[in-house]
Amino acid sequence: MLHIKCPHCGLRSQNEFSYGGDASVKRPELNKEISDQDWDNYVYLRKSPRGKHLELWQHISGCRQWIKVERDTLTHEIFKTLKANEEV
C-alpha cells in the first residue's frame, strides 16, 4: 500500500488517489504550429525511468486536486509531494 501525502489534506492511502502519469511531459503551446514528431513526443513517448519519477496523481476520493509526486519506481519510496503548480 502506498501512502501519499496530499499537500492539501495530509497523509492518505493509495485507495483515495488515481494515477495521471509522467508529470514532466509538457503540452505543446496552444495554437502554435508544431510538427507531428512534437505531437508524438507529447502524446506517446515516455522515458519511464527505473528510479526517481515525477508523476501526477489526483486525490480523486478526497479534495479532487491534481498533485505532483516524486516517487521511486523501483522501491515505491515517495520522496516529495507538491501542489500541481509547484516545481521541484
By the rule CB under 8 A, 47 interacts with another protein: yes
By the rule CB under 8 A, 75 interacts with another protein: yes
Instruction: Name the one residue in this structure whose C-alpha cell is 516545481.
Output: 87
By the rule CB under 8 A, 22 interacts with another protein: yes
Judge whether 63 and 24 are in contact, CB under 8 Å: no
By the rule CB under 8 A, 59 interacts with another protein: no
Starting from the edge strand earliest in sequence, which strands make up the sheet with 78-83, in order? 18-22, 52-58, 66-72, 78-83
Footprint on this chain of another protein (rule: CB under 8 A): 1-2, 13-15, 18-19, 21-22, 36-37, 40-41, 43-50, 53, 55, 71, 73-76
